[in-house]
Amino acid sequence: MKRSDIRKYFQNGRAVVSAETYAIVKTKRALANALAVIKDDRETTCVIDESKLGTQKFLGFEGDWRMITFDMALPLSLVGFFAAVSGALAEAGVNLFTLSAYTTDHVFVKGEKLETAIRALEKLGMSVRQR
């Protein structure tokens, strides 16, 4: 795919902001009800809806993350989509945490930066709606 073809993904792009607020948690093992679990040789990280954390134990906690899901099929062969997204968010001063699924990507931004992130994505040409 040519780099210029990526513009069509933004012109026709849709993103959805979840209603939930998430935590990114360092743990010894996977938490019940986690949206995602990332385990490597050094640590286990769970992304979980804060309301589902309950009394589960954790080693590190960073809360108040909002999930923006790119509501479109993004082929694994697509080059540059996330570079453009992360560049636009960086330019707007928005830090992020990312997860990718087979056909789409998710970006997590702090609640206090959500409106700034939405404006940055809209500036790319995307339509963003909140649940």
The secondary structure of 37-77 as a DSSP string is EEE-SS-EEEEEEGGG-TT---SEEEEEEEEEEE-S---TT
Question: Quick one: pLDDT at residue 1?
Answer: 45
Query: What does the pLDDT look like over 79-117, one tens digit per residue?
Result: 889 999 999 999 999 999 999 999 999 999 999 999 999
Please, what's the b/e burial string for 105-126 (b: 16 or more CB within 10 A of its CB; e: otherwise)? bbbbbbeebbeebbebbeebeb
Percent of the chain with pLDDT over 70: 97
Q: Is the pTM of this model over 0.85?
A: yes
Which domains does the chain possess? 3-130 (3.30.2130.10)
In sequence order, the 6+-apart residues with CB closer than 8 A to the CB of 70 are 13, 14, 15, 85, 104, 105, 106, 107
Beta carbons of 93 and 116 less than 8 angstroms apart: yes
Question: Which pLDDT band holds residue 4 (cuts at 50, 70, 90)?
Answer: low
Query: What does the pLDDT look like over 33-79, one tens digit per residue?
Result: 999 999 999 999 999 999 999 999 899 999 999 999 999 989 888 88
In sequence order, the 6+-apart residues with CB closer than 8 A to the CB of 15 are 68, 69, 70, 71, 121, 126, 127, 128, 129
Structural tokens at position 53: 């954390």
Question: Quick one: pLDDT at residue 5?
Answer: 72
Question: Quick one: pLDDT at residue 11?
Answer: 86
